[in-house]
Structure 1
Amino acid sequence: MADRTSWRELRDRRMAEPGAEEGYAAARLAFELGAAVRSMREQRGWTQAQLAETAGMTQPAVARFEAGGTVPTIPVLERLAHALDARLIVQLEPGTSAA
């Protein structure tokens, strides 16, 4: 019987690969943005189709975005913010270490 790799070992090995941390950070950001849009949509009582129509998008595009499946562009975020009557704030903050 072959030895099995634990999830932690696999994760550690993958995270050590070049670009892995940046990819993980992008996926986290996409997930958080999607969750925020979904929450605002649900607070309005809208379906994905209603948000899509108001934002000039397709329902599948909204579904992918809400699931964190895509990293949106600033223009897409602006359309979603406008449709949800929200402000889009994009900012850079200093990190914790000097590079």
Structure 2
Amino acid sequence: MELEHLQKSLGEVCRTVRERLGLTQAQVAKQTCLAPEVYGRIERGGMMPSVPTLRKLALTLGISADVLLELSRTDVAATLAQPTPEGSLSPELRQFVRMLRGWSPGEVKRLIRVAKVLESPAEE
């Protein structure tokens, strides 16, 4: 996922949850030890918070950091005790899946087209 998209998404989630809780930007900023202007930039998708700030936001808003970062259970293991989602794949496939995570949707679509050609039986 691109940084700009992630910033916008994180900001939208923060705003939605903050409004649902009936809090102002200033209140969230104060509880997370941020300047109100800085928190406003995060909500507008203009800034990516640091990891400690992301943790404070998750705690203040009462929402999982997974939700803030758009991670699903198919993306990551829920606990340290669980295997990673690719745990049952071969090492080569795990490496390939990790590489694909950084690709754009367009790049993935092109790869799928190539894979379908490779999958079809060879004409003799």
Determine if the TM-score, normalized by the shorter chain, exceeds 0.5: yes
For 2:61, the equivalent position in structure 1 comes to 84
Three-state SS of the structure 2 residue aligned to 1:69 is coil
CA RMSD between the two structures:
2.4
- Count of aligned pairs between the two proteins: 75
**Largest Rg, 1 or 2:** 2
| Residue identity matched to 1:54 | Q
Question: TM (normalized to structure 2)?
Answer: 0.53
Stretches of structure 2 lacking an aligned partner (at least 5 in a row): 76-96, 102-107, 109-124
Distance in 2 between residues matched to 1:68 and 1:86, nearest whole Å: 18
Stretches of structure 1 lacking an aligned partner (at least 5 in a row): 1-21
Distance in 2 between residues matched to 1:74 and 1:56, nearest whole Å: 14
| Residue identity matched to 1:28 | H
For 1:3, the equivalent position in structure 2 comes to none
Question: TM (normalized to structure 1)?
Answer: 0.65
- Asked whether 1:60 is paired with 2:37, we answer yes
